[in-house]
Structure 1
């Protein structure tokens, strides 16, 4: 990935981020999964964060993103998790009572910086997650 720029700053700040639903519930499949893909893409666009790659597995989300240096990773994650919960509850009102109002995602997340050296490793790992998820569930 080439360096990007904003005004007088050239940057290459890419991160591998993983986060889970509360209690690691196995609920992200079918319509919920499709809705979350759309919601996360839209929220990334709104914050001018480039979603380079990502997968939504049955009980966790992997994202490979480029976040501008003017925004912290924690600020971005608070935004993604907060807004995606509200948008998901708007589309699926039954989740509001089933999973607790405003408590769809667990509190923490995993983040690692990604340099140009291991970018392909991270991409391959994210792509393999969906296949591993299907094997664990017995689906093919």
Structure 2
């Protein structure tokens, strides 16, 4: 059975697959920098009550699958992950400051996709079977 998390007035299961890259795709996430990056991401997630289900630090990008609560938007989460990790890594590794003289370790964008146990087809079928009224395109009014 599905395990849902609970808030004061909510039950939820929200998972995101997030990917972001280093600026210019430079392969700087190696050795101690990669280990520190992983540690920082874990700390940031823990501070924001985000559970890391799976993660991977590549030389030039990060992949993580996380479970989050509905009060934290995905854009805010990525902002915290990228901002805090970049700030700390620049403080601790002088060679990064030389490579990224503009103080931007991460590229501007990111990729995110939601995951879940319910497919689009299942939701469409559920919505379609709510009432037996006459359909009006794909958006119906029930009785």
What is the alpha-carbon distance in structure 2 between the residues aligned to residue 57 and residue 75 of structure 1? 23
Once the 2 structures are TM-superposed, how far is the Cα of residue 58 of structure 1 from its aligned partner?
Answer: 1.1
Between structures 1 and 2, the one with greater helix share: 1
Report the equivalent of 1:12.
13
Residues 1:70 and 2:71 are matched in the alignment: yes
Report the equivalent of 1:35.
36
Once the 2 structures are TM-superposed, how far is the Cα of residue 117 of structure 1 from its aligned partner?
Answer: 6.1
Question: Counterparts in 2 of 1:1-140, with a 5 A limit?
Answer: 2-116=3-117
CA RMSD, 1 decimal:
1.5
Larger-Rg structure: 2
Once the 2 structures are TM-superposed, how far is the Cα of residue 67 of structure 1 from its aligned partner?
Answer: 1.5
Normalising by the residue count of structure 1, what TM-score does the alignment of the two structures yield?
0.79
1:40-89 C-alpha deviation (Å, 9 max, x unpaired): 00010011111111000111110000121001100110111000001111
Once the 2 structures are TM-superposed, how far is the Cα of residue 98 of structure 1 from its aligned partner?
Answer: 2.1
List runs of 5+ in structure 1 lacking aligned partners.
119-140
What is the alpha-carbon distance in structure 2 between the residues aligned to residue 98 and residue 61 of structure 1? 19
List runs of 5+ in structure 2 lacking aligned partners.
120-143
Once the 2 structures are TM-superposed, how far is the Cα of residue 102 of structure 1 from its aligned partner?
Answer: 2.9
4+ aligned runs moved over 4 Å, structure 1? none
